[in-house]
Structures are given as structure tokens and as C-alpha cells.
């Protein structure tokens, strides 16, 4: 099973918001059991897609401000609402807004839409770095991983990376 629930980032404004997409393919393993004869994308995976987009927004924002990489881990899901069934064959539109950023945590308000109508919404709280990621070696590993991931997801990565004065 694939654990990446973010297919593309179409907009990322550091410190503000990000937009992206998750294609919901009928071939995903979870549809066999959730639910037989009525396949629905599990709500927890909808939240995960929103969390992955939010995490990229947080990473880029922190790097731009502090020149350090963080690894945002979702710790609290508040005010989650699931308003529509998400079925195979749709493109789930994802959007997140950064509400608050601290040294060790962040809060985002996120929503998913189907045909322009909200299907899922939540307030997501993240904590950073569930281990020692402040050493130069750990930062280098995390930077390599995240830059490669951003290159694959975000067409605007190259322009952003050029502005960071770091290796693209």
C-alpha cells in the first residue's frame, strides 16, 4: 500500500497557505474493505492527505524563516467534519492555511473539496522533530529527503529553491 496521500501541490505560499490534489484511484487496497459494494475513502486518510499538504507548508515556511528543516508530525485533530462521501475516480482538492507557528509546533486549518464543495474540514495541530533532528547530519538527511519530495510534488519548487539560496 502506498502511504503518500498527496499527489500534487499547485500552490504554496510560505507562511500563508497551500493547495494540492489527491487522486482517488479505485485500485487502492482499502476500498476492498471500506466498504464492500460501496467504496469510500476512509476519513482518517482524508485527514492524512490534508496533514501531508499542511506539513509541506510548515516545512517550507520554517526553512524560509529560520534556515532549518523540521519534520511536522500531526498530534491533534480538532473540529473534524466529514460532509460528503469520497468515492473512487475523483480528484480531492486540498487546501490548508497556516494559523499559528511556534518554535516547536504549528496549527493549520485545512479543508478538502469535491466539485468545489467542502467534503472534509479540520484544524490540525503539529509538533516538530520526534527525535534529535538538530544535528548537522540529521538536518542534511532531512533536507535531502524533503527537497526530493518537494521536487516531485510541486512545480513551483525550482523557483522557491532558487530564492532560498540553497542547493536546488
CA–CA distance, 97 with 108 (Å, rounded to integer): 5
Catalytic residue among 8, 19, 34, 84: 34
Helix (H, G, I), strand (E, B) or coil at 30: helix
Helix (H, G, I), strand (E, B) or coil at 153: helix
CB 80 within 8 A of CB 43: yes
In the residue annotation, 40 being an active-site residue is answered as no
Strand order in the sheet with 17-23: 8-13, 17-23, 91-101, 105-114, 117-128, 72-82
Which residues are known to be catalytic? 34
Amino acid at each position: 500500500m502506498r502511504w503518500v496521500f498527496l499527489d500534487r501541490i499547485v500552490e504554496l505560499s510560505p507562511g500563508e497557505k497551500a493547495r494540492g490534489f489527491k487522486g482517488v484511484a479505485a485500485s487502492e487496497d482499502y476500498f476492498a474493505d471500506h466498504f464492500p459494494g460501496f467504496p469510500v475513502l476512509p476519513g482518517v486518510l482524508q485527514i492524512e492527505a490534508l496533514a501531508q499538504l499542511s506539513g509541506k507548508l510548515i516545512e517550507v515556511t520554517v526553512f524560509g524563516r529560520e534556515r532549518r528543516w523540521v519534520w511536522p508530525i500531526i498530534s491533534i485533530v480538532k473540529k473534524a467534519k466529514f460532509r460528503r462521501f469520497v468515492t473512487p475516480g475523483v480528484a480531492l482538492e486540498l487546501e490548508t492555511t497556516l494559523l499559528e507557528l511556534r518554535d516547536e509546533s504549528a496549527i493549520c486549518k485545512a479543508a478538502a473539496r469535491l466539485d468545489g464543495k467542502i467534503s472534509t474540514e479540520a484544524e490540525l495541530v503539529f509538533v516538530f522533530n520526534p527525535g534529535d533532528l538538530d544535528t548537522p547530519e540529521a538536518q542534511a538527511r532531512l533536507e535531502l529527503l524533503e527537497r526530493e519530495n518537494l521536487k516531485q510534488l510541486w512545480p513551483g519548487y525550482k523557483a522557491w529553491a532558487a530564492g532560498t539560496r540553497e542547493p536546488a
